[in-house]
Structure 1
């Protein structure tokens, strides 16, 4: 039996949830290929500790790169990575009234197309006996729709809908799952105060953190009989109506 640690590619590994996932996998004895367009200071510092994290600069805005990237990684590592966590995401504010086709396409190519291309290309590169697991970060808002972030939401809806189909099409070699995070870090220009107020309105209360999302990703990578699932980790945020949020939000004293 091989004594090598399991090997995973993490896209968007340099910041926010991608960085938290990278750290959690390292703590659980995974070797990481951190796929980023530009390395962050935090990711460079993590690599400098001597842990098994290897930074690979790659722009995945062109999803077709995966058909060359998997064979390249296999040659570089002497084996094909058995897992991918797609944490890279384009997140820009727009509405149906302000969006453009360029914005819709840009969000789709990174948030959705890249994951589908990576899965298809992995299967074509893998030996018949190899088994793998892919996890995509989606968003709890696909289960509690609102019309903001128009292009982003369309891309995440496509991603969520593709997971059960990919799980069917790529079985038994590749398991495909998703994690739908709730609000875990300030985003979209939120102040810290706005962030904490929003989390306090969750049915389960405040406290949801990046490590909680990372733990869910690790769970799905390790559970070899789970596929085609979207695991929502959001403190119950997707269960709220706008009225619930208003009622739960503390009023200023």
Structure 2
């Protein structure tokens, strides 16, 4: 897809989303970003994207609420007149031991990491299908894409991200006849997780064949590559430095 004069919506606009927003703007797209708490950080992204000459806007959204996901898409279309690309990057990543896991923990993890992807994608697809084109990119995880859990304490996270794989494949089949492509990325060690020690970070690098953190730009490059494809759908692309090989 040529991004010139297209409209891209990114959920989770900080960290990886900021890098992607600038890449899309550099290729001529207008960019909308959703956020939950990081108002100051998202304002900085909007300001820097707008400085390139492209339109940019931020929308405060509680992605745990299905109606809010639909309203987000409606608001973006009202702002820009169209929606050509949806990228769902918003995610919750928290370790909770099984014995401490509450029903609320379970519901909130799935609400953001799985349910919001579905609700946003369905709302976006309703606009894309009559136009006969569009891209939806979801976000799984290298562990879930590898087909088995590897760490304890992340049960709802793993289940949600494994669900994203199934959602990607199912939506790709549902929307293919209308020209809407659905793919996913499955990031690995992009940035050190908050609260990890130098020893923990060194262990992650030892288990990563390419031996370094990816950084937000590697996710951007993978997504931009998917947006360039006109005949790829239902794929989950691991962006993990070879982490799944060990």
SS at match of 1:89: coil
In 2, distance between residues paired with 1:25 and 1:105? 33
1:186 match: 192
Q: Deviations over 1:220-244 (max 9, x none)?
A: 122121100000010111121xxxx
The runs of 5 or more residues in structure 2 that have no matched partner are none
Larger Rg computed on CA atoms: 1
In 1, distance between residues paired with 2:93 and 2:3? 39
The equivalences for 1:95-134 within 5 A come to 95-126=97-128, 128-134=130-136
Q: Deviations over 1:159-217 (max 9, x none)?
A: 11211111001223321110000111111411355324422431222242211111001
In 2, distance between residues paired with 1:211 and 1:155? 24
Change (3 A) 1:30 1:129: closer
Change (3 A) 1:216 1:229: same
SS at match of 1:35: strand
Q: Are residue 159 (structure 1) and residue 134 (structure 2) matched? A: no
In 2, distance between residues paired with 1:239 and 1:24? 29
1:31 match: 30
- Cα offset, 1:40, TM superposition: 4.3
- After TM superposition, the score normalised by the length of structure 2 is 0.87
Q: Are residue 230 (structure 1) and residue 236 (structure 2) matched? A: yes
Q: Deviations over 1:83-102 (max 9, x none)?
A: 11111001111132221221
Q: Is the 8 A contact 1:163 1:178 kept in 2?
A: yes
In 2, distance between residues paired with 1:182 and 1:127? 32
2:12 match: 12
Match of 2:58 among 50, 55, 63: 55
Structure 1 stretch displaced more, 151-160 or 34-43: 34-43
Q: Is the 8 A contact 2:4 2:27 kept in 1?
A: no
- Cα offset, 1:138, TM superposition: 1.0
Change (3 A) 1:208 1:126: closer
Greater share of helix residues, 1 or 2? 2
1:72 match: 75
In 1, distance between residues paired with 2:162 and 2:43? 33
SS at match of 1:171: helix
When the two chains are superposed, the root-mean-square deviation of aligned CA atoms in Å is: 2.2
Q: Deviations over 1:73-120 (max 9, x none)?
A: 2222122x1111111001111132221221111111111111111122
The runs of 5 or more residues in structure 1 that have no matched partner are 241-253
1:248 match: none
SS at match of 2:170: helix
